[in-house]
């Protein structure tokens, strides 16, 4: 027995809003944060005790978290496309 399939205009709109957030802002902001953190990690740009702490302790874990978030956003984007197609197929067009 097949499971229930429900596709509302609200579901379609919600998927589109999530896609818009991921595609037009969040991913770009993560890239910008990564770029600026990388610049601050360079001793020729910023040096001293706090800069060393940033380079050694703060930035490596932050960069790893940003890279992971970006990867997960890319995966979410792919899944959202599949979800959107399923909503259309279920009659949400």
Is there a contact between 72 and 64 (Cβ–Cβ < 8 Å)? Answer: no
Consecutive H or E run containing 65: helix 59-87
Dihedral Cα 6, 9, 12, 14, nearest 10 deg:
-110
pLDDT for the residue 91: 60
Specify the pTM. Answer: 0.76
Consecutive H or E run containing 85: helix 59-87
Q: Give the separation between CA 12 and CA 24, rounded to whole angstroms.
A: 18
pLDDT for the residue 53: 97
Report pLDDT digits (tens) over 30-81. 999 999 999 999 999 999 999 999 999 999 999 999 999 999 998 988 888 8
Q: Give the separation between CA 82 and CA 38, rounded to whole angstroms.
A: 34
């Amino acid at each position: 027995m097949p499971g229930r399939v429900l596709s509302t205009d609200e579901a379609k709109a919600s998927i589109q809003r999530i896609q818009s957030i991921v595609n037009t802002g969040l991913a770009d902001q993560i890239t910008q944060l990564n770029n600026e953190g990388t610049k601050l990690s360079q001793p020729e740009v910023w040096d001293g005790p706090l800069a060393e702490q940033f380079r050694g302790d703060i930035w490596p874990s932050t960069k790893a978290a940003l890279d992971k978030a970006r990867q997960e956003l890319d995966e979410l984007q792919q899944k959202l496309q599949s979800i959107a197609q399923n909503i259309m197929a279920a009659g949400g067009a």
